[in-house]
Each structure stands twice: as structure tokens, then as C-alpha cells.
Amino acid sequence: MNKKRIITLVAMIALIVTLGATTAAGYVSANRYKTNLEYNYKRAMGDLSGCVSNIETALDKAAYANTATQQNGLAAKLMRESSMAKSALAVLPITDHSLDNVTKFITQVGDFAMTLSTKVSAGQKITEEEYKTMKDLEQYAKTLQSGLQNAKTNIESAQLTQEFKKTSEDFTDFPSLIYDGPFSDHISQLKPMLTQGRPQVLQGNAQNIAAEFLGVTQDKLAHTQDTAGGLPTFNFTANNGGIRICVTKAGGFVSSMENARDVTAESLTYEDASKKARSFLDGKGITGMKETYYVINDGICTINYAYNKDNIIFYPDLIKVSVALDNGEIVLYNSTGYIMNHHDRTIAAKITADQAQGSVSKKLKIQKRGLALIPTPGLSEVLTYEFLCSGQNNERVLVYINATTGFEEQILILQTSDNGILTK
């Protein structure tokens, strides 16, 4: 083969390789675009489902709200969730009229809430007919949430349209409304209280802290990309990346640890997990924490602990511990809430528990009461009396009454099942 033919052959090969690379790059780009689009749709569906769930919960609580402060707070939440739900709906790839009834429902929830807020602010009382309307809206919210759970598994445009058509049919008889018109995700917006004034630690010292926490030697850890933002941390991995642990740069506190291993069996009970978690905290020298709620998912029991002192529960100071139910291993630890909020506080109630009890709805039967510090949507804290009550249909309800003003601050519905105790 002569030199000229060799050069020509090389050039052809180079061209083929270039075209192949270009085609592959185009395919990768198109695939990435499709993936991003599906992610946006999934996120919108998740946001919509979360908003509808919050609407349902707020309407459920509204039946027990007994003061203007709490009633206005719930109305504001309904308006906010309604607005966010409409934003999520606008992202979904549906171009026909499948969403009309759903959009109408969400819009009217917001308008109705605004009307009630205006009425309550003017010193007027909510009527029994309006309470009935709230319960009707709650039932429609439950129906919509059920439909959304089915639609979340079908993200493609045609499938989504079909699912929403089914859901919208349940809203065909939705009545025309006649009217005149926390605990929040506050943690990420705050500066960490526990680390204020604490000295900065070196990376090597942070690695030692992480190794001691895990019970391994320092050489078993690998330093990975650090976290900046409101809570700067040194980050490390162990077990070939299967374990991730973060240590605050100020003060050297372990803020989180996660072992991503699979849990394939459930041989332990919640009671076993509770003992394991308590033993773990004691072993780390973490005291003064009171177990509050727990949930079991995928063979893992996650238990929430709140700081407790002088018979006051400090809910912002939160630590989460997850226990694998196959062997009792601690697979997750998160003290971000505690690090962000824990500090010395000087607090005292201005009214008695009996006075606060007068603000609790007569529809509730009080079973237990005590002092509790809770976070507010305004990124602050408020001392309250916590009343554990039983409500309609044997619902367990927590009512929080401001220990200074006597106004309702928060209402939570307790959900108890074989998988745990949570609030909504």
C-alpha cells in the first residue's frame, strides 16, 4: 500500500471516528435533556403532592382551631400551599383541559381561605356552615391526593394526561363555593447556635473526631469535598464510600453520619431499636434527650429525640437516630437541628396551665399537658403549653397554646400505625 493510500485511509478513519463521536455526543445530550425534563416533571409532581397533602392537613386542623390567631395562621398556610400547588401544576406537560377541575379546586381553596382570614381579622366568627365547607374541601383534597399518588408513577405526557382525566372526573360535582371574596423547614435559614464562638478545627482533627465516632482508625477515612453555606463541614467517607460522615468546621461536632447499606430483614422490633438508639446516644455522651416520634421504613427505624430540661421539651433541638432492624446497627445519625438551635435559654411561662387550657377547643378532651418550646414559621421560638388531646373519630391531637398570650400557636394531628408515630 503506497503512502498516498495510507494517508487517505487514515483520514477516512479519522472522519468516521469524528462523526461517531459527534453522534454519540448528540445522543448523550438528547438523553440528558430527556432525563432533566423527566426530573423536572417528577419534582413538580412531588411538589404538587406535598402541597395537596399540606392543604388536607390544614383543613383537618381547622376544625379544632379556636382562636383568631390560629385560624388566621391556618388560612395563611392554605393560601400559601394553594399558590405553590398552582405553580407546580403549571410545570406539568398537560395541554388539554384535564387539569381544569383540579385547578379550580386549588384556586377556590386559596380564595376561601383568604375570605375566612378577612372575616376572622374583623372579629367575626366562623359559622358552622363554613366549618362544614372545610370538611368538604378536606375530602376533595384526600381524593386528589389519592389520584396524585397514582399519577406519580406515570410521568410521560400521555400517561399523565390520562391519569389526570381520571382524577378530574372525581371533581365533576365539586360544589361552587359562596364567599365574600411550622414545624417549618426553618433550619437551613438559620445560623448555627451551638457553634457560635467555637474555634475552627483543622481537617486532621476533624478526621480524628469522625474516626472515633465510627469506631475506626483515621486511615480508614477518605476526605471528600467539604460543605459550605450556613453550616460548613468537613466531609469524609469510609467503607469504600458506603459510609458518609460530616464534622462541623467550628467546634468539631458530628452533624451527620449515614451508612447506605441495604437492610433486607426485620428481626428487631421498635422496642429493640429504641434501646439500641438510647445506648448509642449514651455511648457518645449525648444526654438530656427525650424520645418523641418514630417511623419504620424499609427495615429501618428512625427515632426523633428532642432536648429536655426542667420538664420543658425543646423541639427545635432535634437529633435523629436510625437503627437497622436486621442487626441493630446505627445507620443514620443527624444532629443538624440540635447544632442549629441548641443554646442556653432563659424562659418562663406568663400564664398558668389552667389559663392556657381555656384556649383549647371544647371539641377536644385533654389527656396530658406540659411546657414545650416550638419553632415558628417566622424563624423564632415560642414557649407553649403542649396539650395531648383526643378529638373526633378518636383522633389524637396536639394543641400548643402560647405560654405568654394564651393564643393557639400550632395544632398537630398524631398518626399512629404499625410503622410508627408521626405528626401532620
pLDDT in tens, 298-331: 899 999 999 999 999 999 999 999 999 999 999 9
pLDDT, tens digit, for every residue of 350-373? 999 999 999 999 999 999 999 999
Packing angle of the helix pair 100-121, 68-91 (nearest 10 deg) = 160
| pLDDT range class, residue 199, cuts 50, 70, 90 | very high
Average pLDDT over residues 25-42: 61
In a shared domain, residues 104 and 125: yes
Nearest to 265 by CA among 328, 322, 320: 328
Residue with the larger pLDDT of the pair 417 and 396: 396
In a shared domain, residues 46 and 132: yes
In a shared domain, residues 202 and 82: no
Which CATH number is 407's domain given? Answer: 3.10.450
Is 145 in contact with 49 (CB distance < 8 Å)? yes
Is 316 in contact with 337 (CB distance < 8 Å)? yes
In a shared domain, residues 85 and 163: yes
In a shared domain, residues 214 and 319: yes
* Angle at 261 (CA atoms; ends 304, 252), nearest 5 degrees: 55
Taking the complete model, does pTM exceed 0.85, yes or no?
no
Exposed/middle/buried for residue 326 (C-beta within 10 Å: 0-12, 13-18, 19+): middle
pLDDT at 164: 63
Which one of 298, 318, 341 terminates a domain? Answer: 341
Q: Say how far apart CA 232 and CA 130 lie, in whole Å.
A: 49
Residue with the larger pLDDT of the pair 135 and 338: 338
pLDDT, tens digit, for every residue of 146-182? 877 776 665 555 566 666 666 666 665 555 454 443 2
pLDDT at 13: 62
The DSSP annotation for 92-109 comes to: S---SSTTHHHHHHHHHH
pLDDT, tens digit, for every residue of 243-279? 999 999 999 999 999 998 889 889 999 999 999 999 9
In a shared domain, residues 226 and 317: yes
Q: Say how far apart CA 235 and CA 188 lie, in whole Å.
A: 18
Q: Give the domain extent around 194.
A: 189-341
β-pairing, 365-375 vs 381-390, is antiparallel
Average pLDDT over residues 185-208: 82
Widest pairwise Cα distance in the chain? 104
